[in-house]
Amino acid sequence: MTARPTPGDLLRIDGRASVQFAGGRALTLRVVSVSERHAYDGWIWLTGYVIDGRGNAIAKREVYVQLAGLRPASVAASRGRVRGAIRADRGHSSPRRESGVSSC
């Protein structure tokens, strides 16, 4: 994908987008926002919700990825809904924010 993602896009983020998501660390992300902050040419900051296999949002993440490595995710993952009380059973009222960025 070379086009800039937009809020609502469902993306598969794996090792093609960034080495930190290689192998079993790949994820499906529903884009919430695309940052305007400075990034290296061909790279972008995205904020969104990680979507599980049932289509439910399980965590909010901010990731730094290569545009050329982004792929559309399967439609099956988009059938769920984002729930505000995802972690209510653990005492949290909303998905926790995790940074998907590793230091260079």
Rounded to whole angstroms, how far apart are CA atoms 38 and 66? 13
Q: For residue 27, give its domain range.
A: 10-99
Specify if 4 maps to a domain: no
Name which of 7-16, 22-31, 76-85 the model is least confident about: 76-85
Specify if 2 maps to a domain: no
Specify if 24 maps to a domain: yes
Specify if 65 maps to a domain: yes
Rounded to whole angstroms, how far apart are CA atoms 71 and 80? 19
Q: What is the mean pLDDT of residues 15-26?
A: 95
Number of domains into which the chain is organized: 1
Specify if 28 maps to a domain: yes
Is residue 53 predicted with pLDDT exceeding 60? yes
Q: What is the pLDDT of residues 21-30, one digit of tens each?
A: 999 999 999 9
Specify if 1 maps to a domain: no
Q: Give me the residues paired with residue 28 across strands.
A: 12, 51
Q: What is the mean pLDDT of the chain?
A: 80
